[in-house]
């Protein structure tokens, strides 16, 4: 069984258009187990009930940004080992450095192509 058949992904983005594009790209890669949350607190609630292998999160969200979500995941025993990819429109050095310190596995800058997203994901989980 291919990795893409087993991989469970949670997409976290407050913008429905962005979330839809990411989920569409994942589906086109053959990843079928895709969940989503519209914000960080929602993602944490979802992960309590439904464990995943990989979280793909937007950086800029109200209430709890992507780095705050990453920090919450890394400080929780149950979620500290999840793969985490940060999506950001402004990949400035401070955001990326902070993400790396917190344990971010990879990041991708908007806008991106489905192939760039696939390459980013494969760098974290292995070949799909």
What is the arithmetic mean of pLDDT over 114-120? 97
In this predicted structure, the answer to whether residue 55 has a pLDDT above a threshold of 90 is yes
What does each C-alpha distance from 34 to 5, 19, 84, 97, 113 come to in angstroms? 11, 11, 14, 28, 19
Q: What is the mean pLDDT of residues 74-97?
A: 94
DSSP 25-90: HHHHTT--EEEEESSHHHHHHHHHHS--SEEEEES--SSS-HHHHHHHHHTSTTTTTSEEEEEES-
The total domain count for the chain is 1
Strand partners of residue 12: 37, 57
Beta-bridge mates of residue 35: 10
- CATH number of the domain enclosing 27: 3.40.50.2300
**Which whole number is the average pLDDT over 59-77?**
96
Buried b (16+ CB within 10 A) or exposed e, 18-36: bbebbbebbeebebeebbb
pLDDT value, residue 2: 85
Domain that holds residue 115: 3-125
What pTM did the predictor assign?
A: 0.96
End-to-end CA distance of the chain: 11
């Amino acid at each position: 069984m291919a990795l893409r058949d087993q991989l469970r992904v949670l997409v976290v983005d407050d913008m429905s258009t962005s979330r839809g594009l990411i989920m569409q790209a994942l589906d086109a890669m053959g990843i079928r187990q895709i969940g989503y949350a519209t914000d960080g607190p929602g993602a944490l609630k979802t992960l309590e009930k439904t464990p995943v292998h990989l979280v793909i999160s937007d950086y800029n969200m109200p209430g709890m940004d992507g780095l705050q979500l990453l920090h919450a995941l890394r400080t929780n025993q149950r979620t500290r080992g999840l793969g985490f990819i940060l999506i950001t429109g402004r990949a400035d050095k401070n955001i990326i450095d902070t993400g790396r310190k917190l344990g971010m596995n990879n990041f991708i800058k908007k806008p991106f192509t489905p192939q760039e997203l696939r390459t980013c994901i494969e760098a974290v989980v292995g070949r799909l």
